Amino acid sequence: ESAAHRRRLKMPATAKVSRVALVVAMQEEAKPLVERLGLTKRADALDGAPAIVYDGEHGGGYVAVVTPGLDAASGLNLIGTDAAALTTFLAVRALAPDLLITAGTCGGFKRQGGRVGDAYCVTSFQHHDRRIAIPGYDALGVAKRDAHKTPAMVAALGFKTGACSTGNSLDMSPEDDDRLKDAVAKDMEAAAVAWAADLAGGVPLVGIKVVTDIVDGDKPTQEEFLENLHTAAESLQATIPKVLDFVLHRDLTDL
């Protein structure tokens, strides 16, 4: 039975990691990584979605980098939760990874000791912009989910750790700020990836995020993000192969 079939039936995944899929929001983030890993663009799309899949062999295992693709009207990256959720669900069903990684850039926080270039291994995912003041629906809006635990990898590779909070706006409103007090990273996709990974059968999810901008800093977020995007993409290019070398062929309980 395939891993995808096991997940559809809610059966346990294989213990050893041999197939890894990375969901990356932007082509600018993915391109250096794809080149570093020597992956090849697949001709077949994910069930008609605009997603782009690059895959190949790394360290004796299967690795895929998946992006949501480009908006047909503007030609821009399909960033945000909608495209991330759709892409993740289809990628898990089509590629049957043993481990899923949401990888990319994020905003960091001065109040949490964050600096541009810091690399975080995410411990949990949640939304900060879904404010629903109705009992039960308030928790549904936040939708907090734990990441797969990776204490050995964190110790071996020296990651910072903490919660990642997701919203569909680049700025931070006062209401958002109140809900981001405990987060070390702010992005636009990770919590949606976590929801879709659960929906597709509960594939274990790890988050690797590199800081491009300081959300509570002095520079306008959009300027700092664009200024540091290339540097952060290069950091991912250096970091992700180390992550792959660590997780491939290792038991999921030993990460």
Give catalytic residue positions: 29, 213
How big is the CA angle at 41 (ends 39 and 44), to the nearest 5 degrees? Answer: 135
Helices (H), ranges, the chain = 3-8, 27-37, 81-95, 137-142, 151-157, 174-179, 190-199, 221-247
The C-alpha atoms of residue 26 and residue 229 are separated, in whole angstroms, by 10
Q: State the CB neighbour count (10 A cutoff) for residue 40.
A: 11
Given a contact cutoff of 8 angstroms between Cβ atoms, the answer to whether 163 and 185 are in contact is yes
Helices (H), ranges, 11-136 = 27-37, 81-95
Given a contact cutoff of 8 angstroms between Cβ atoms, the answer to whether 213 and 171 are in contact is no
Q: What is the DSSP letter of 114?
A: -
Q: 135: which residues sit within 8 A by CB, 6+ positions away?
A: none
